[in-house]
Amino acid sequence: MHQTMPTSNYVPTDFYHTKKLVSQVGLSYQKINCCSNGCMLYYNDYESEMSCKFCGHLRFKPIKSGKEKFKQISYKKIWYLPLIPRLQRIYASTVTTASMRWHHESQRELGVLSHPSDGEIWKHFDQKYLNFFTDPRNVRLGVTPHKYYDF
């Protein structure tokens, strides 16, 4: 990433320094093993499974680390970034908080789509869930259109 930026940038030059910088922000992450074919996550009830329940692929690579001992290295893993701490961080600043409430507080011209909340689906959602709609701090992460608007 450092190489793609202009020469006078502050982007860290390697993964170690990037990880060190991100850890100071206080946002956590979690590594979760998953099937190399993308069939399942080894999480919660499936944390102790040794192979995929759908395709049967092994969870760990058979790598020898010593005398008859095998090191357990996952074929594939994902990095889960918990959403709630990130939203809390956004709302901690007065500058970003104002941006997060813009969809509720701004006056927009009728008939002009200037924000996803102006769309037909979000208006339907607002009518159906008035408690959610009335609080300007609520965050809509996405509304998937459904054929019959069956939320």
pLDDT of residue 146: 53
Most confident of 6-15, 39-48, 75-84, 140-149: 39-48
Assess contact for 140 and 102: CB atoms under 8 A.
no
Mean pLDDT of 122-147: 77
Q: Given a cut of 70, is residue 132 above it in pLDDT?
A: yes
Q: Given a cut of 80, is residue 49 above it in pLDDT?
A: yes
Lowest-pLDDT range, 27-41, 48-62, 129-143? 129-143
Tokens of 129: 């869930």
Mean pLDDT of the residues in the chain: 82
pLDDT of residue 144: 57
pLDDT class of 42 with cuts at 50, 70, 90: very high
pLDDT class of 92 with cuts at 50, 70, 90: confident
- Residues paired with residue 40 on neighbouring β-strands, in sequence order: none
Task: Give CA–CA dist 27/31, Å, rounded.
Answer: 14
Strand (E) or helix (H) holding 34: strand 30-34
pLDDT class of 90 with cuts at 50, 70, 90: confident
pLDDT of residue 32: 96
- Residues paired with residue 70 on neighbouring β-strands, in sequence order: 64
Q: What is the pTM of this model?
A: 0.58
